[in-house]
Amino acid sequence: MENGWSWEQKTLINELIHGMELAKQLRVQFSTASSSPETAEILLQRILASYEKTLLILRWSGSMGQPHSAGVSGGPPGSPISANGSLASDEFDKGLKEHQDLNDVSKKRKVLPRWTDQVRVNSETGLEGPHDDGFSWRKYGQKDILGAKHPRSYYRCTFRISQNCWATKQVQRSDEDPSVFEITYRGRHTCSHANNLVPVPPSPEKQEEKQNNHTHDNQQEQPLDILANIRSSLRIQTEDFDNTEMGAYPFSFPSTSIGCMNSANSSFSLSALEHNTPLGSSKPFLSPATPESNYLSGCPFQKTNFGGLHNVHRSESDLTEMISANTSATCSPTLDLDFSLDPVEIDPNFPFDSLAFFS
DNA sequence: TGCATTTGACCGGG
DNA sequence: CCCGGTCAAATGCA
């Protein structure tokens, strides 16, 4: 990585640029089609914004000359950051701190890698960006947190037992902005059920219904269809970006990492983007009274994915293949533990596979 | 009937 | 002792 630019990053940038071009084209089409111009426009703007940010980040970290170490952990997630404003910096510091703590923590006690993500519920789309993290989560607890208005929900990978996957996440609604959720991921997925494998559960409606009830008839699946595609691709892009970008990321691990990483990574850009756009604030999509537990567990975040999985599958077909290949190829449960204790030494080789698909 | 969620109890760190 | 995190029995749902 001479000059701080690895070939992966260059490739990524190219891809991002390409993606942006496509999004722009779509934008034109949408505006002419004029079916639901507003929503489409909004989302497209976000997409574009996200791309821009991603590029910004890449450049930034690239210029830092250390896309892998400190910059890595803090950089990507938080950085968008400065560009975004508000939340950004906080998140950045937070994330950075968390990543730094990682090592210490692991010494003190067996703690899995952990990173935080913020997600804002998107009022128009009825889905909050980031989270169909492609994993199947099972709620195992809920706690009232001191000083927090809303309880915190605890989830763990559904395949914890069957596949010895110890990934967990905590979801908590923000006090300040009820439409924002803080999601803290812990541990890396070692299961082979990432993304594509997380088949749309036979009954996503179950959760969806709950959600829809809480929200309003947010049945914009039609217009969202396309957007979902865009979004999904965007997500992957960011994932990949993160992969390369955060080589040192604790949870980034050779092949398997891809599927596992998306959870956190996808959200980074998207959440950042959410905060960026002045749009998503029409209505809070969630009634503050909504029991977080239900909403979150069932929310489009995860498996539900507002039925977007169909779309995702289509649009991500390539990526899906890639992911499945990677995830299924190496599911290394045991490695994960070790790796969590010694995060930094693992990254060097991993992003290649994924990138190869992109280029 | 099997799986997911709920929720109070329990545990361990600070 | 307080608080965050997890467990596990009870309950709900398809």
pLDDT at A190: 77
pLDDT tier for residue A41 given thresholds of 50, 70 and 90: low
Give the closest residue to A253 by CA, choosing from A316, A183, A326: A326
Question: Which residues 115-174 on A are within 7 A of strand B at the CB atom?
Answer: 136-143, 153, 158
User: Which domain does A171 fall in, by range?
Assistant: 114-123+132-186
Q: Which of the listed residues A21, A42, A60 is the one where a domain comes to its end?
A: A60
Encode A132-162: b = buried (16+ Cβ within 10 Å), e = exposed. bbbbbbeeeebeeeeeeebbbbbbbbbbbee
Say if residue A79's pLDDT is above 70.
no
Is this model's pTM higher than 0.75 or not? no
- Report phi then psi at A253, rounded to 5: -140, 155
pLDDT at A142: 94
Cβ proximity of A8 and A244 under 8 Å: yes
Residue A341: alpha-carbon gap to chain centroid: 23
Neighbour-count burial of A126, counting CB atoms closer than 10 A to its CB (0-12 exposed, 13-18 middle, 19+ buried): buried
pLDDT at A186: 84
The answer as to whether A118 is a domain residue is yes
Q: What's the CA A173/C1' B13 distance, rounded, in angstroms?
A: 25
The larger pLDDT score, comparing residue A89 to residue A139, is at A139
Percent above pLDDT 90 for chain A: 5
| Six token digits for residue A181 | 């959720």
The answer as to whether A146 is a domain residue is yes
Q: Which of the listed residues A186, A211, A231 is the one where a domain comes to its end?
A: A186
Return the minimum-mean-pLDDT range out of A142-146, A167-171, A214-218: A214-218
Q: What is the pLDDT of residues A10-24, one digit of tens each?
A: 656 666 776 777 677
Q: Which nucleotide is nearest to A147 (CA to C1')?
A: C3
Identify the residue whose Cα has the smallest distance to the C1' of B6.
Answer: A141
Whether any strand C atom is under 7 angstroms from the Cβ of A168: the reply reads: yes
Whether any strand C atom is under 7 angstroms from the Cβ of A152: the reply reads: yes
The answer as to whether A249 is a domain residue is no
The answer as to whether A231 is a domain residue is no
Q: What is the pLDDT of residues A288-317, one digit of tens each?
A: 333 343 433 333 333 333 333 333 333 333
Q: What is the CATH number of the domain that holds A145?
A: 2.20.25.80
Cβ proximity of A183 and A116 under 8 Å: yes
Say if residue A54's pLDDT is above 80.
no
Q: Which nucleotide is nearest to A203 (CA to C1')?
A: C14
Q: What is the mean pLDDT of chain A?
A: 51
pLDDT tier for residue A4 given thresholds of 50, 70 and 90: low
Q: Which nucleotide is nearest to A154 (CA to C1')?
A: C5
pLDDT at A39: 58
Domain count, chain A: 2
Task: Write the single-letter amino acid at A161.
Answer: I
Q: Which of the listed residues A60, A83, A105 is the one where a domain comes to its end?
A: A60
Q: Which nucleotide is nearest to A187 (CA to C1')?
A: C5
Give the closest residue to A144 by CA, choosing from A121, A125, A172: A172
Cβ proximity of A253 and A328 under 8 Å: no
The answer as to whether A109 is a domain residue is no
The answer as to whether A161 is a domain residue is yes
pLDDT tier for residue A71 given thresholds of 50, 70 and 90: very low
Q: What's the CA A177/C1' C14 distance, rounded, in angstroms?
A: 35
Q: What's the CA A201/C1' B12 distance, rounded, in angstroms?
A: 36
Q: Which nucleotide is nearest to A303 (CA to C1')?
A: B4
pLDDT at A115: 77
Give the closest residue to A230 by CA, choosing from A74, A35, A48, A9: A48
pLDDT at A151: 92
pLDDT at A252: 35
Q: What's the CA A66/C1' B6 distance, rounded, in angstroms?
A: 46
pLDDT at A189: 78
pLDDT tier for residue A99 given thresholds of 50, 70 and 90: very low
Highest mean pLDDT among A107-116, A128-137, A338-347: A128-137
The answer as to whether A241 is a domain residue is no
Say if residue A144's pLDDT is above 80.
yes
The answer as to whether A55 is a domain residue is yes
Q: What's the CA A147/C1' B4 distance, rounded, in angstroms?
A: 29
